Amino acid sequence: MPSPTPVPPRDRADTPWRSEGAPPAPPPRKRMPGGWRGLILTALIVYLIANVVLSFFNEGDEPVVSYTEFSKQVAAGNVSKIYSKGDAIQGELKSAQPLPDGKGDYTKFTTQRPAFADDQLWANLTQHNVTVTASPVVVQRSFLANLLLSLAPMLLLVLLWVVIARRMGSGMGGMGALGRKAPPKPVELAGAKRTTFEDVAGIDEVEGELNDVVDFLKNPGQYRRMGARMPRGVLLSGPPGTGKTLLARAVAGEAGVPFFSASASEFIEMIVGVGASRVRELFAEARKVAPAIIFIDEIDTIGRARGAGAGVGGHDEREQTLNQILTEMDGFSGAEGVIVLAATNRADVLDPALTRPGRFDRTVVVSPPDRDGRAAILRIHTRDIPLAPDVDLTRVARTTPGMTGAELANLANEAALLAVKRRRDQVTPADLSEALEKIQLGAERSLVMPDEERRRTAYHESGHALLGMLRPGADPVRKITIVPRGRALGVTLSAPDADRYAYTEDYLRGRIIGALGGMAAEHVVYDVITTGSESDLEQVTGIARGMAGRWGMSERVGRLTAIPSDGQSPYGLAAAPATLDAVDHEMRRIVDECYEEACRVLREHRPQLDALAEALLAHETLDEKAAYAAAGITRLEK
């Protein structure tokens, strides 16, 4: 089929139409707040009111008196001067006289001489020395003066209008009366150092996926000659802290294109339609500087599958915003040259229309780094931290399986804080080790325990550690302590030598046996069960439930998944009641077998258990080497 005609970008994002081959529309004119029509109407109303008020005051300055009263004042010699134009007479008295209605006095007045009057007015005026002036006694304001005075309130109103509109705009963070928000600007400042792939480590396979996007942005002509089109969007999916936002910025920095960043929650407002308008403005700004990258963080906020929990009729603000994103990412939107990167922790809940090819063409899973990746990440985050010569970041990476880039950055920062607190010039291995313990185990508590409870805690932790040392294939014991940390009275830290990605049934049973070691030790030594095993039992329950209900490690339940991965089903029961009863029965069987095995091993190795507990009571904390030496077990390095 012939290649489609390129659609010119729209200069305005709110126009409901698209054109092909038409010249770009002129930029929209700036509109006054409220519109010119409202402003003109208000000005006319103010003008009329001002004229009425001014005419009222003008009339009240010179009262109208009867011609009879005027004649009396002339006869009494109380008139000082007059001015006449036709039959209208203006005058001024020598001394004030009360008004006929009794409401005050007057000195200046106006009157009207009747046409039939024949009272020798001129003779009377001359007789009483009344001055007849050539200019009005009361000077009226000109039309221009009245116009300026009437326009003054209107100008004041316009000025007040503009000031209030500007303050509302700045006070609402660039939002107008309907919540419209100013479109986001590129986050990189001019001249600032851009984030590149040199600032990203530990996820080489993800970089390979995104390098295609970078190359396309740098060399679009080569791909167009081969008939390849630019991907519409790339979805970054992975646990929190794995560096999805950093990857998006690195892609824009490597390609040297503008980068627009926004959180999905920023599009949602109470007023329906505001989110859609913001999406239009965002894509319009990006198209003006295309090629460009738009990054939407936590897209599952607005991208959830439609129909679940929607408003009445499904016409709520979230769905309108999602529909606008779908439209902008469509092939008919004129969004060529704009690539959308989005990040989410819940890719499984996104709407299928959002993740189909043509919108988000690729889904890149950003997983926690492996051992080599963790070492590279630690080297990046310690570039500005002075390290002691004996610091081995590879060894630190080996003891931090499963940690994400954000957690490793926090580890380096916590170690630096400890070094500053201890007045050191460099970060030592002890600082890194203590920082890791603080992150994984919690901060130390100053808790004074009775000797009997302290001894019981030592046997509890020794039970965990000894079973971990004796069980083949179990994770090596890294540290044992009976110093209270967080909510625990003691902690046993175990970590594998290498990252594990799949677990065997034997390994999982060893995890359960090790977790039950504390309770088994208290049972073997004291024949009691305490509440100190609560967290251990939670861990045991989770592993046993997975073995019986999710991973097919039970002959009675069979090779099926009876329990969802999140532990709950949106439709009530995840399986038939009989199947769930079988899962419960198998969980109990697995845990009971492991507990019996733990008690048997501890009884057989009681001298080693006692020796390890006594070493803990004497030193409170044992590292890996000291723990294996106290138990008399040789640690085989892998």
Residues annotated in a binding site for ATP = 238-245
Under DSSP, the state recorded for 389 is: T
In which residue are the tokens 């049973």 written?
A: 509
Q: How many CA atoms lie within 13 Å of 215's alpha carbon, on the beta-carbon side?
A: 10
d(CA 329, CA 508): 45
* Alpha-helical regions (H) of 471-605: 505-515, 517-526, 534-549, 577-604
Strand partners for 538 = none
Radius of gyration of the chain (CA): 44
Which helix (H) or strand (E) element contains residue 156? helix 143-171
Tell which residue, 300, 299, 341, has the closest CA to residue 210.
Answer: 341
d(CA 539, CA 559): 23
Q: Residue 226 is encoded by which pair of tokens?
A: 């081969």
Question: E strands within 359-458?
Answer: 362-365
Q: Are 374 and 242 in contact (CB under 8 A)?
A: no
Phi, psi of 237 (to 5 degrees): -120, 135
Sign of the CA dihedral with 465 first, then 469, 470, and 471 last: positive
Q: Are 377 and 202 in contact (CB under 8 A)?
A: yes
Under DSSP, the state recorded for 32 is: -
Strand partners for 111 = 89
Phi, psi of 482 (to 5 degrees): -110, 15
Q: Are 401 and 499 in contact (CB under 8 A)?
A: yes
Rounded alpha-carbon distances, angstroms, from residue 565 to 305, 547, 569: 19, 12, 9
Q: Residue 578 is encoded by which pair of tokens?
A: 């009989």
**Which one from 461, 522, 586, 597 is the annotated catalytic residue?**
461
Q: What amino acid is encoded at 96 in this protein?
A: A
What residues are designated binding site for Zn(2+)? 460, 464, 536
Sheet holding 88-98: strands in order across? Answer: 105-112, 88-98, 79-85, 131-132
Cβ-based neighbours of 548, under 8 Å, separated by 6 or more = 554, 557, 583, 586, 587, 590
Indicate if 266 belongs to the active site.
no
For the chain, what percentages of helix, strand and coil (3-state, to nearest 5) are there? 50, 10, 40
Q: What amino acid is encoded at 402 in this protein?
A: G
What residues are designated binding site? 238-245, 460, 464, 536
Rounded alpha-carbon distances, angstroms, from residue 228 to 216, 224, 225, 251, 332: 10, 5, 8, 20, 17
d(CA 414, CA 476): 25
Q: Are 441 and 493 in contact (CB under 8 A)?
A: yes
Catalytic positions are 461
